Amino acid sequence: MRELVPIFPHLLAFFNVSTVFLLIAGATAVRRGERDVHKRYMLGAVAVAVLFLIVYVLYHLEVGNAAFAGEGKVRWFYFGLLIAHIIGAVFILVMAPMTLFRAVRGTFVTHQSLAKKTLPLWLFVSASGFVVYLMAFHIWPSV
pLDDT tens track for 109-127 = 999 999 999 999 999 999 9
What lies within 8 Å, CB to CB, of 58 at 6+ separation is: 1, 5, 8
Residue 143 scores a pLDDT above 90? no
What lies within 8 Å, CB to CB, of 27 at 6+ separation is: 38, 119
The CATH class for the domain spanning 2-139 reads mainly alpha
- CA 120 to chain CA mean position, Å: 11
Residue 74 scores a pLDDT above 90? yes
- pLDDT grade, residue 1 (50/70/90)? confident
Question: Using CB atoms within 10 A of its CB, is residue 104 exposed (0-12), middle (13-18) or buried (19+)?
Answer: exposed
pLDDT tens track for 37-60 = 999 999 999 999 999 999 999 999
The pTM of this model reads: 0.95
Domain ranges of the chain: 2-139
